[in-house]
Structure 1
Amino acid sequence: MQEIVVTLFVFLGYLVNMTGGSCTLPDELTGLWHSAQRGPLTINSTHIMDYPIFMSVSVLSFDWECIEQSERKYVFQSTTTAFIYGSEFTGFLCLEFWRVSATKYYYLIHTPIDSTNVDHVNASRVRTTAATATGVCTDNPTDSSFVTMVEDGSVESGASEATCATDLLNEFTNVTISQHNDASSCTNNVMDGCSSKTKMSFTYDTSCTAVHKFSAGGNWTCLRSITKNGYTYVSLWNNDTAITSTYLRPYRYNTGETYRFACMVVSGASATLFPKICSDDTQNPTSVSFPGLKLTFSGASSTCHVTTEDESDAIYYVIIILGSLFVISLVILLVILYKKGVFRKCKRKCSKSHSIASLEIIMSKPPLKVQPLYRDESFHREKTDVISVLEFNMNFNVDNKLN
């Protein structure tokens, strides 16, 4: 009987796991969101719908159901199967969600790329052992491989924008854009990063062609940035009305396409741009893989960036200078006063005042009880009588004269 009860509990736990009862996505994610790698996604408390993924010619997307959760990591199982190589396969995916704001999240993909379809998926034959986090969340992505997600309409409303990287807060009159392999480039482009600190606006030179642009209009909104290894990684939103690329195969690119999202890695006057998300750890401000672009900024005409640290240093030096001037002025004033004899006059006046004050103090002292000091009866007083200080002095002087 005991074994039957244990088996029943194990079976019920399995059912709860499979139905997603133990896995709930954040309430804020309910609605339509835009993923930098997957495009528009409809999300509710337990599902991610219309997720583009190439499984077969007939299966081009999955609806994911959450079946397991461990802190920020979520394991998803496809609600349908894909017929591949004569067998039915179920897909599994592991995502780690991080909140930036109510309208902006990002996630890391912990499921490695499958070599069959070159995408993040763990495909298991139907009727095999159910997937778990241990078997699906096996990859450890770097911080720079984050995938930005923004709520629909939040970029247009300004709710999801962020201040662009410090090196981009300037107006450059000569920006050179080159292909990843320097096969071609165009110069004399203008970039305005100051009219709005959350946007970059490029004015392309006529020599630029489609291979030098990921945005037809050249207007980008900064969404999020991180600093790693001395470089700044910036997630960008393309404000073009329409784009030419798709989200079906996220690691396949065509020359001359435009993209809704891009990742820029910048340091100083050098930067690289890559579609959707940062390509990998090899992307840096001077090197990027296909179909990335390389940018060199020059001709800075003005800056809208004010470094707080520099301001603090300036205030510090101003305080030192003002303090020094105060001390010098005080010394000069003292020297002038000394030469005019102010201190000598004050000394005489102060000495006279001191003598008068001393006498006043003596006169104001209370009477003293003293022993009788006399030689004649005319000055006789009882030893307990009280005499003033002046009387004492007079008696003493008279007594001395009599002798």
Structure 2
Amino acid sequence: MPTNSVYVNCFESVCCAGESSEALFEAICTHQSGIKSFNEFIPNKSIALGKIEKPFSIESLLAVTCKKVLVQSSLENFENTLLVVGSSVGGMQRSELLFLRDHHYANIDPKLHAIDAIAHILSQHFTFKDDISFSTACTSSANALGYGYEMIAKGVYESVLVVGIDTLSLTTIRGFDALGVLSSRPCQPFDMNRDGMNVAEGIAVVLLQNTPCKESIEFLGAGYSSDAHHMAHPSPDGEGALLAMQKALQCAHIMPSEVGYINAHGTGTQANDTSEACAIARLFGDKVSVSSTKSITGHTLGAAGALEAIVCAMALQKQILPPNTNLFEPENKTLNLVNAAKSRTLRYALSNSLAFGGNNTALLFGLPQ
């Protein structure tokens, strides 16, 4: 079957660091973190989180964000568009609030609890050709983007709307706390003195199409691996991440030396950063600029893949390298870790998403030729 080109034509996002993608990119480049300290999520403990401060529900915010993407696009509606959702939480936060209020399950609607709750909510505002939802922990929306890429490349759909979303669920926050990986301050990816991650909420909406528009970024390939090293720890040498990046490059017949920027998964935990840094160093050496933007956004979990794909797209559009923040003493001395926003001629950018169980996804983007 012939392979069609796939383009990122429109996108929008909302997270603790910005109410739009433009605001987010500015925050990243100027080191303005949206992470704050909270003490209401875990008894007798202050933790740093990325919370969206809005007077209305995140479900309403999601519909508004999708509407903004529709207005940006050449589409009149989403009736011939596939909706692909990536989320690790789905409607779980809503269920938690109801249970904690009522102390029983009677008022919990199953349609608004599971991962496909997001598609159900959006169906009240838009009509889609069909929908599918992915829940693969921190690679959820990266895998949703990969699926959208496949659908367009193979000619099944002409347009795919990818939605990455996660909210601040108590189940998730306390689960990460039980693992001992939450930080009380904004995280420090790749730093010697990092002490953990910041759970965050976020929305990222990306429209993929088979024809380009004025400011399109080409979606060139996706690479996947499942190393299954451990339920919650990556392989120490980064074998899974390495394989995913290699597959993404092979998909587009791109050499490692051609990639100008990598948006790393970079969560700020001891295990993740050491493993991912090792993988990047093995494949790219010091020849590619690397940053994690989670010190600004926090870890938006299932939304992170789509949110960071948007950061890569904007880096290519603006020809600017997004910097690391809170990086003072790098643990890995080989990596070319960017500390300040820099103008740079960029042709290709890679986005890494790594998840529990060794589920790894790398997405490759480039300027259209």
TM-score (norm 1): 0.21
Higher relative contact order (CA 8 A, sep 6+): 2
Write 1 or 2 for the structure with the bigger share of helix: 2
Structure of larger gyration radius: 1
TM-score (norm 2): 0.23
